[in-house]
Chain A
């Protein structure tokens, strides 16, 4: 039985990867630890439940990573995707520490796949969890329980009482009942606010009703909000989020990885008005899938439709919902609720603009359009061999960039630049310090693991001094 009147050394708020890494590390260092997860047990783990891999620096092949991936290459990748919207010292520190993580993860029971044969060939840069993120979380929760971390599910922190940079207590709702918890140190690892549609609505208006939240419905951003309201320094553009294109038929929350659609490069994509709006073949899909969420969010009604023919159908990963299928473009448009004549005109104009060339689904090829606006610069083949297939697409929000500012010890900084006396942060709630824009596969788990470990270590050290 957990005693909520007791003053713990370390209170960890959150139940995902970053929270568990902090809790286990603090407990290993001898601190008493209470972890509060707002979700019920079956849905524990925040967005980590839907993750799959960890991006790790390594100088030589390891059991779980091929080749080498050194600091400068890793940093270049990060600089490119963020457009410089990062903090170089923090980022380089994260990259260097990532090299030491996998043995500790394995000691906690996390298991990796020996090599990957899947969709994205990332086995050089990314270590894949055997069974995915939920299996990783199961291992961490089992380790935390074995070490004696007190874990409460259905325990949502509604506000923190911050006094001149010092967290005095936390107000929580545990199984629906209010309670107050106090601890010597606090680690905030409660994620972003992408599941808080009212907060998102402040920036996006009613378009949010057409957004799909890919991950946990429990990322309400309450901890983030209470901290920002009490003088904690913010980082990251509050209006921005990472979004991909996914099946419009997906559930509003928690559809995870399965709902994504990889059809775009081998299709044309039209909006609600039946017209194209962006080059579908700009680059290989792993480099482009993350911009399509944004592109669709900017279209009327936040919806788009991918259309291909039977030659293209087997070139992309199977979809979780069956494709809409028809024997003619007009019939397909009709089935998708689009104006058949407009879509037929769009397809005809596209087909007329397709140039002959060598087709190669595995890399940038020579198939492109001429005189079409917007152009399709690769994989452009005429859409002519029925049956024809279509998918409705919506923006799927992965995470928000707004967070709390931290230093290299995971200590939260106040708006005046001074570090908090006893508040630390890890995971998505502070990822914006390093990943201020864009996306790098598996890097969110790296930030969560590295900063979770640092936050746990520092919080335990501070609490026991």
Chain B
């Protein structure tokens, strides 16, 4: 059933695109979007929401399209779907009023980050004397001499649990809106597609980035960033086990598991985010959605900054710079956690959900 509510401009544009694409179907070999489109004859907003999240923005269909601008039909699927995704993220944000942040995502993620980092620095300065902040610390508990263990763990846990809850509820809302049956086998297949970025394969030669030529650069850089992020997360998890399970107190030795995981993860994140930023700067503006670029830049820069401050902290942890660096790094980490549900980061969950639904439809 098509809804009678007036369509947003992005939805109307996406429907115009899909109606023409579904009468053409030349792109069926590129990715999961086009076979999914071919299962439909009409495109409700729920269908368009689903297809938009299924789209990985590889841009293969744009360069292959006989109806791309300046053709009067102006078909531009990657752009139309990027705009629909921004609306999806807003519509399913939890709590719902937070959806408005997706309209000015670049600005608001940047402002949130600036605010949180400033607050953490002020609080660190207020709660700790400048002698302690500026003195070199060493040995177990060096970090906690600057910011107390309880404050650090409570703040981090609360922020992380909040982000997790908001993201899970958002994704659940997205899943319910477009329907679909959940089966573990579909989830397993979707997870495989998401972890390998299969749909950035563009039919075998990669996606069209930064321009018309084919390349796997975006896929590899995204892998570096995403797996780097997961390694950093693993480093924190291992450190928690060390602390509570074994009573081993941070900072850990350079060759300890948390430091190795964090270092490798941080370097990968830095490579991935820097590379993706560089690709974005070089990218052909024609298939891009200008309205969402700000949010994408903001998250990439935030992730890169978390990685950079973390690595810097590792290098300088034996010096007097450690105190303020630690506060700075934790400020960025806190900002990242709080921004996760309200940033481009949410695309990973929505896209995985769309992939699960897609496997269920096949």
Residue in B23, B64, B69, B72 whose beta carbon sits within 8 Å of that of A138 in the complex: B64
Query: A43 contacts which chain B residues (CB < 8 A)?
Result: 70-71
Assess the A117–B20 pair: CB atoms within 8 A. no
**Shortest Cβ distance from B70 into chain A, in angstroms?**
5
* Segment touching B, from A193-201, A252-260, A405-413: A252-260
Assess the A131–B19 pair: CB atoms within 8 A. no
A113 to B64, CA, bound (A): 13
Determine which residue in A50, A142, A320, A322 has the highest number of CB atoms from chain B within 10 A of its CB, and name it. Answer: A320
Assess the A258–B30 pair: CB atoms within 8 A. no
Query: A117 contacts which chain B residues (CB < 8 A)?
Result: 28, 35
A260 to B19, CA, bound (A): 13
**Shortest Cβ distance from A442 into chain B, in angstroms?**
14
Residue in A50, A114, A119 whose beta carbon sits within 8 Å of that of B25 in the complex: A119
Tell me the nearest residue of chain B to A260, going by C-beta. Answer: B23
Assess the A257–B24 pair: CB atoms within 8 A. yes
Tell me the nearest residue of chain B to A129, going by C-beta. Answer: B26
Interface 1/0 per residue, B64-91 and A, CB below 8 Å: 1111111110000000000000000000
Assess the A258–B203 pair: CB atoms within 8 A. no
Assess the A318–B65 pair: CB atoms within 8 A. no
A318 to B60, CA, bound (A): 23
A132 to B65, CA, bound (A): 8
Assess the A114–B24 pair: CB atoms within 8 A. no
Which B residues, 20 to 51, have Cβ-Cβ distances below 8 Å to chain A?
20, 22-30, 35, 41
Assess the B27–A131 pair: CB atoms within 8 A. yes
A68 to B21, CA, bound (A): 31
Assess the B205–A318 pair: CB atoms within 8 A. no
Q: Does A159 touch B at the CB level, under 8 Å?
A: no
Q: Does B61 touch A at the CB level, under 8 Å?
A: yes
Residue in B23, B29, B68, B70 whose beta carbon sits within 8 Å of that of A317 in the complex: B23
Q: Does B162 touch A at the CB level, under 8 Å?
A: no
**Shortest Cβ distance from B240 into chain A, in angstroms?**
47
Assess the A131–B20 pair: CB atoms within 8 A. no
A50 to B35, CA, bound (A): 20
Assess the B25–A111 pair: CB atoms within 8 A. no
A50 to B30, CA, bound (A): 17
Q: Does B63 touch A at the CB level, under 8 Å?
A: yes
Assess the B66–A130 pair: CB atoms within 8 A. no
Known: A134-B64, A317-B23. A113 touches B28 (CB 8 A): yes
Q: Does A376 touch B at the CB level, under 8 Å?
A: no
A258 to B24, CA, bound (A): 5
Tell me the nearest residue of chain A to B21, going by C-beta. Answer: A258
Tell me the nearest residue of chain A to B26, going by C-beta. Answer: A132
Query: B19 contacts which chain A residues (CB < 8 A)?
Result: 318, 320, 322
A251 to B20, CA, bound (A): 13
Query: A118 contacts which chain B residues (CB < 8 A)?
Result: 25, 28
- Chief secondary structure at chain B's binding surface: loop
Q: Does A49 touch B at the CB level, under 8 Å?
A: yes
Query: A320 contacts which chain B residues (CB < 8 A)?
Result: 19-20, 23-24
A180 to B311, CA, bound (A): 64
Q: Does A133 touch B at the CB level, under 8 Å?
A: yes
A132 to B19, CA, bound (A): 18
Query: B27 contacts which chain A residues (CB < 8 A)?
Result: 131-132
Tell me the nearest residue of chain A to B42, going by C-beta. Answer: A318
Tell me the nearest residue of chain B to A254, going by C-beta. Answer: B71
Q: Does B140 touch A at the CB level, under 8 Å?
A: no
A50 to B23, CA, bound (A): 13
Assess the A256–B24 pair: CB atoms within 8 A. yes
Query: A130 contacts which chain B residues (CB < 8 A)?
Result: 29-30, 64, 203-204
Residue in A113, A131, A318 whose beta carbon sits within 8 Å of that of B61 in the complex: A131
Q: Does A325 touch B at the CB level, under 8 Å?
A: no
A114 to B30, CA, bound (A): 11
**Shortest Cβ distance from A80 into chain B, in angstroms?**
27
Assess the A135–B63 pair: CB atoms within 8 A. yes
Determine which residue in A49, A135, A251 has the highest number of CB atoms from chain B within 10 A of its CB, and name it. Answer: A135
A160 to B352, CA, bound (A): 59
Known: A131-B29, A254-B71. A319 touches B23 (CB 8 A): yes
Which B residues, 133 to 186, have Cβ-Cβ distances below 8 Å to chain A?
none
Query: A111 contacts which chain B residues (CB < 8 A)?
Result: 203-205
**Shortest Cβ distance from B43 into chain A, in angstroms?**
10
Residue in B35, B71, B72, B203 whose beta carbon sits within 8 Å of that of A131 in the complex: B203
A246 to B213, CA, bound (A): 34
Interface 1/0 per residue, A232-276 and B, CB below 8 Å: 000000000000000000010010111110000000000000000
Known: A131-B64, A132-B66. A52 touches B26 (CB 8 A): yes
Query: A142 contacts which chain B residues (CB < 8 A)?
Result: 212-213
Assess the A318–B67 pair: CB atoms within 8 A. no
Q: Does A314 touch B at the CB level, under 8 Å?
A: yes
A30 to B71, CA, bound (A): 36
A16 to B28, CA, bound (A): 23
Assess the A134–B66 pair: CB atoms within 8 A. yes
Assess the B30–A256 pair: CB atoms within 8 A. no
Known: A111-B204, A117-B28, A131-B203. A318 touches B23 (CB 8 A): yes
Assess the B66–A318 pair: CB atoms within 8 A. no
A134 to B71, CA, bound (A): 13
Tell me the nearest residue of chain B to A119, going by C-beta. Answer: B25
Tell me the nearest residue of chain A to B65, going by C-beta. Answer: A134
Query: A317 contacts which chain B residues (CB < 8 A)?
Result: 23
A52 to B28, CA, bound (A): 12
Q: Does A42 touch B at the CB level, under 8 Å?
A: yes
A319 to B29, CA, bound (A): 21
Determine which residue in B20, B70, B213 has the highest number of CB atoms from chain A within 10 A of its CB, and name it. Answer: B20
A119 to B204, CA, bound (A): 23
Tell me the nearest residue of chain B to A313, going by C-beta. Answer: B41
Query: B60 contacts which chain A residues (CB < 8 A)?
Result: 131
A251 to B67, CA, bound (A): 12
Known: A111-B205, A132-B27. A138 touches B63 (CB 8 A): yes
Determine which residue in A113, A131, A138, A142 has the highest number of CB atoms from chain B within 10 A of its CB, and name it. Answer: A131
Closest 4 CB pairs of A and B: A131-B64, A132-B26, A135-B64, A320-B23
- Name 17 A/B residue pairs within 8 A (Cβ), A-sorted: A42-B69, A119-B25, A130-B30, A131-B60, A132-B26, A132-B66, A133-B26, A134-B64, A138-B63, A138-B212, A256-B67, A258-B20, A258-B23, A314-B41, A318-B41, A320-B19, A320-B24
Interface contacts beyond A42-B70, A111-B204, A128-B29: sample of 15 additional A-B pairs, CB < 8 Å, sorted by A:
A42-B71, A43-B71, A114-B29, A118-B28, A130-B204, A131-B26, A131-B30, A131-B64, A131-B203, A132-B64, A134-B65, A134-B66, A256-B67, A318-B23, A319-B23
